[in-house]
Amino acid sequence: MYLYILFIDEIRARVRARESTKEALPCLSISAKVTFITVKMTSPLTMSFICGIVEENHWRRQSVSQVEEIRHRENTDRERCAKIYKADELLQKGRFSLSITEQRIILYTISKIKPSDKVFQEYTLNLKKFCAVCGINQNDSYSAIKKIMVELRNKSWWILMDDPNHPGTECESLINWFSILRTNKNNGNVTIMFHPDMMPYLLELARQREEGHGYYTKYEFRYVLPMRSQYAIRLYELLKSYQKNNTTWWFKIDNLKHLLDCDTYTRYADFRLRVIEPAIKEINKYSDMHINYETEKEGKRINIIMFRMTEKTIDERIEAQKAGLTTLDGNIHYWDSDTLSDQVNCVVE
């Protein structure tokens, strides 16, 4: 009697015990390449040979699965380590109100811009990868993010600029984020194109950094990804833009509220409790810098807030990355101090 053994890339049947191998082999499902080998079943040695082949293929399948998991983690980490570049003018003079997910979508898309791009391209984002990078629960994510995309497409932001019609004065100009937003439910992809009005703040900036000049702020995506306060990311970017040449920076309270688009907090106590404190707590926990602040009064009213900014040490940034990964992934999936140190060192350029 002869038995035909199928070698396939993936074995879906659970074949482990030798006594059940003879029954399980004919039930193996075929998913890819198939090779037929004829073995004459005349002795226990032959059966042992068959079992060894099947078991080896089973463990090989597990090894392939582990390799794929490692590659997935590496790709996710690589996207989290992407550098974000924004013009200082956008950060210091722009005024916009965006949810956490909206900010992540914009930042994730910015990370796709290449210095060689002459005009804005259509950037394709895969929602599954986007959710993995951002630590978003993927249940019903397509419908939820599609709804956010619709809202984002209709949003615009204000920037303070010199008035071309009245020299010596300033005006606010309204600018749209995107000109194209398309979603494909079949493959889970989103196609995005920035509005041409964004070119001076993103696209031309890419060429400037290649040439080694220009006024822009650079940071790593992973430092803002775990943040849950919409004001934390905005305040981090704002202070980061001033940190290049300063260790302290001050704002008038009303001006800072205007930049963060939270003028509704008329009382300083509410502004401190709802905006400043939660934002600083997350910046200190997750980012590459440490912030503290103090206030000054004009008369009886608190009118000025001064921030002190210090760069974190390597060890402190490793702890920040651990906290970020725990928040994003829900657990600590690897803590290789040498690897994390290498990643941190890459940031310090």
Q: What is the CATH number of the domain that holds 175?
A: 1.10.10.10
Mean pLDDT in residue range 173-181: 87
> What pLDDT score was predicted for residue 164?
79
Work out the number of other CB atoms within 10 angstroms of the CB of residue 19: 8
Domain contains 280: no
Domain contains 259: no
Distances (CA, A) of 172 to 158, 166, 241: 6, 13, 20
* 171 residue type, one letter: C
Residue 288: pLDDT band with limits 50, 70, 90: very high
Of 225, 254, 285, the residue that ends a domain is 225
* 328 residue type, one letter: L
Q: What is the pLDDT of residues 8-34, one digit of tens each?
A: 333 334 444 444 444 433 333 333 333
Of 225, 243, 259, the residue that ends a domain is 225
For residues 96 and 194, membership in a common domain is answered with: yes
Domain contains 136: yes
Residue 241: pLDDT band with limits 50, 70, 90: very high
Radius of gyration of the chain (CA): 27
* Local structure of 16: helix, strand or coil: coil
Contact assessment for residue 77 and residue 88, using Cβ atoms and an 8 Å cutoff: no
Domain contains 199: yes
For residues 160 and 41, membership in a common domain is answered with: no
For residues 126 and 216, membership in a common domain is answered with: yes
Domain range for 111 is: 81-225
Better-predicted residue by pLDDT, 192 or 334: 192
Comparing CA positions, the residue from 185, 178, 287 lying closest to residue 227 is 287
Distance CA 265, CA 256 (A): 11
Contact assessment for residue 15 and residue 25, using Cβ atoms and an 8 Å cutoff: yes
Please tell me the total count of domains within the chain. Answer: 2
Alpha-carbon dihedral angle through residues 193, 195, 201, 203, given to the nearest 10 degrees: 40
Model-level pTM?
A: 0.74
For residues 85 and 217, membership in a common domain is answered with: yes
For residues 10 and 97, membership in a common domain is answered with: no
Q: Which residues contact 167 (CB under 8 A, 6 or more apart)?
A: none
For residues 105 and 25, membership in a common domain is answered with: no
For residues 123 and 70, membership in a common domain is answered with: no
Bridge partners (DSSP) listed for residue 36: 6
> What pLDDT score was predicted for residue 74?
82
Comparing CA positions, the residue from 318, 348, 232, 335 lying closest to residue 283 is 232
Domain contains 260: no
For residues 87 and 140, membership in a common domain is answered with: yes
Mean pLDDT in residue range 207-234: 86
